[in-house]
Amino acid sequence: MSVNYEQSAADDKFAQAHQAVRLSDDEGSDDGADNEVAAPNLLGNTANEEETSGAANTHVVAHHYNELKEAGRKERHKSKIYFMRNFNNWIKSQLINEYMALIKQQKRIGDALRVLDMCCGKGGDLLKWDKAAISHLICTDIAEVSVEQCKRRYDDIAQRANKSKFGNKFTAEFFACDSTMVRLRERYKDASLQLNLVSCQFAFHYCFESLVQADCMMRNAAECLQPGGFFIATMPDAYEIIRRLKAAGPDARSFGNDVYNIEFEGDVDSLPLFGAKYQFHLEGVVDCPEFLVHFPTLVKLGRKYGLQLVRRSTFAEYYKETLPQGRQLLQRMYGLESVQPQRCANDEQFAHVRKTVGTQRGRPVGTLSKSEWEATTLYLVCAFKKCKNSWDANGKPLFEFDD
Ligand SMILES: C[S@@+](CC[C@H](N)C(=O)[O-])C[C@H]1O[C@@H](n2cnc3c(N)ncnc32)[C@H](O)[C@@H]1O
């Protein structure tokens, strides 16, 4: 079975394609398609779990991130993607702030605010959680080295907060595990814990290697969320990836620029729903296999676990939409490069500055290089709301979606 990842046709094709993949218990009786994939058993992983789950690449991904050295401040400044990384960080801040604000509207002062940072990496979002004044954080990632580093960063933040009268003190727990294979709640200090927000930044696409993994990861995102809580994520936009692949030429298997590259191995004319693998390279920070996320399938998986899609915006759209409230933060985070238009005269990376500035010649403009903009606009943000549920006579949840 292959799937059309082109945006215009994707939803129609999905209807056809997903009949072969059973995503929820109540769809099983449809037509009994021969090639139906069985609903996964996610309660326990057997010794040969990788064979049964199709998770052949998780070791490669874990190894890549474990080996990744964190560059010093000087090196980071010299990087070709210094501003883009800051820009991406700003996008994450905007997303976290938007949904934390919605959660806080439902709460009283002093109520607990609990967050899961799934695939937390080295703790790049710890300061964001600190600023959001949460009360408890769970951090998990497949790369043990990253989790250790994340914990050390948290210890530093907690130590500073202890010394300061105004510092926010939040508790935290850390563990390394594969969120596509392990039921996370069984690893929490308190398995009955209710979360207000689950965040998975630049990582959810790894679970689209197989249905079993995607199902497990989505359940991890959803099952401990309180009704009214949110799951927020950033991930590559498969529609945009396929659009660029097609634009690269009829036989093209790869595309990119001097900061990123995407290369497909298999037949790009018959990409599967899960396991649509490509090699992603991003200047100095990523070089490992990733998987296309078929968005209608993501939405469907979310609904299986009571998550209703409330936002899907490309980075370009989200930037435009949230810039009015986020301009100062963007400046403070150095999310754009300050460029003098007259200095761009012969620089193709900033040709867009010459075009857009018009009459304001001479004033510096905040922007990204063409290559950085092309790389960052490969991504999208999305948010899901956890719905209320009741139970049927068989103990199955009945979710009350708003739509
Ligand atoms: C691009 S990094 C993003 C890290 C962090 N969320 C951030 O925004 O800075 C992707 C992270 O996903 C983690 N990851 C990949 N596959 C995973 C899996 N199956 N389970 C848990 N973590 C995974 C990697 O180890 C890596 O830390």
How many domains in the chain?
Answer: 2
Q: Which of 33-42, 348-357, 383-392 has the highest mean pLDDT?
A: 383-392
Give the structural domain span for 357.
334-370
Same domain, 109 and 82: yes
Q: Name the residue of 87, 125, 142, 144 whose CB sits within 8 Å of the most ligand 1 atoms, as the mutation to test its pocket.
A: 142
pLDDT given for residue 179 in this prediction = 98
A 10 A CB-CB count for 181 gives 20
pLDDT given for residue 63 in this prediction = 85
What percent of the chain stands above pLDDT 90? 67
190 within a domain of the structure (yes/no): yes
Q: What is the DSSP letter of 346?
A: T
Map tokens 């690269």 to a residue: 248
DSSP characters for 211-277?
HHHHHHHHHHHHTTEEEEEEEEEEEE-HHHHHHHHHHT-TT--EEE-SSEEEEE-S-TTS--SS--E
Same domain, 366 and 382: no
Q: Ligand 1 centre and the CA of 362: distance in Å?
A: 42
Q: What is the mean pLDDT of the chain?
A: 87
Same domain, 365 and 290: no
Q: Which residue's CA is the closest to the ligand 1 atom numbered 8?
A: 201
Judge whether residue 201 has pLDDT over 90: yes
- 300-337 residue pLDDT tens: 999 999 999 999 999 999 999 999 999 999 999 999 99
Instruction: Give yes or no for residue 334 CB within 6 A of ligand 1.
Output: no
Same domain, 358 and 221: no
Confidence of residue 357 (pLDDT cuts 50, 70, 90): low
Radius of gyration of the chain (CA): 22
Same domain, 186 and 118: yes
293 within a domain of the structure (yes/no): yes
291 within a domain of the structure (yes/no): yes
Question: Contact at 8 Å (CB) between 273 and 297?
Answer: yes
119 a known binding residue? yes
Same domain, 231 and 355: no
pLDDT given for residue 8 in this prediction = 55
Q: Ligand 1 centre and the CA of 102: distance in Å?
A: 26
Instruction: Give yes or no for residue 58 CB within 6 A of ligand 1.
Output: yes
141 a known binding residue? yes
Instruction: Give yes or no for residue 129 CB within 6 A of ligand 1.
Output: no
71 within a domain of the structure (yes/no): yes
Same domain, 351 and 389: no
pLDDT given for residue 49 in this prediction = 57
36 within a domain of the structure (yes/no): no
Confidence of residue 354 (pLDDT cuts 50, 70, 90): confident
- Strands 388-391 and 365-367 come out as unpaired
pTM: predicted TM-score of the whole model, two decimal places:
0.89
Q: Which residue's CA is the closest to the ligand 1 atom numbered 4?
A: 121
5 within a domain of the structure (yes/no): no
103 within a domain of the structure (yes/no): yes
Q: How far from 221 is each of 207, 217, 225, 287, CA to CA, in Å?
A: 12, 6, 8, 26
Same domain, 354 and 212: no
CATH of the domain at 105: 3.40.50.150
Same domain, 167 and 211: yes
pLDDT given for residue 15 in this prediction = 39
Q: Ligand 1 centre and the CA of 209: distance in Å?
A: 14
- 66-79 residue pLDDT tens: 888 777 777 778 88
Same domain, 312 and 296: yes
261 a known binding residue? no
Least-confidence region, from 236-240, 299-303, 350-354: 350-354
220 a known binding residue? no
pLDDT given for residue 139 in this prediction = 98
Instruction: Give yes or no for residue 384 CB within 6 A of ligand 1.
Output: no
Same domain, 74 and 215: yes
Same domain, 388 and 364: no
2 within a domain of the structure (yes/no): no
Instruction: Give yes or no for residue 305 CB within 6 A of ligand 1.
Output: no
The ipTM (two decimal places) reads: 0.99
Compare 5 and 278 and report the one with higher pLDDT: 278
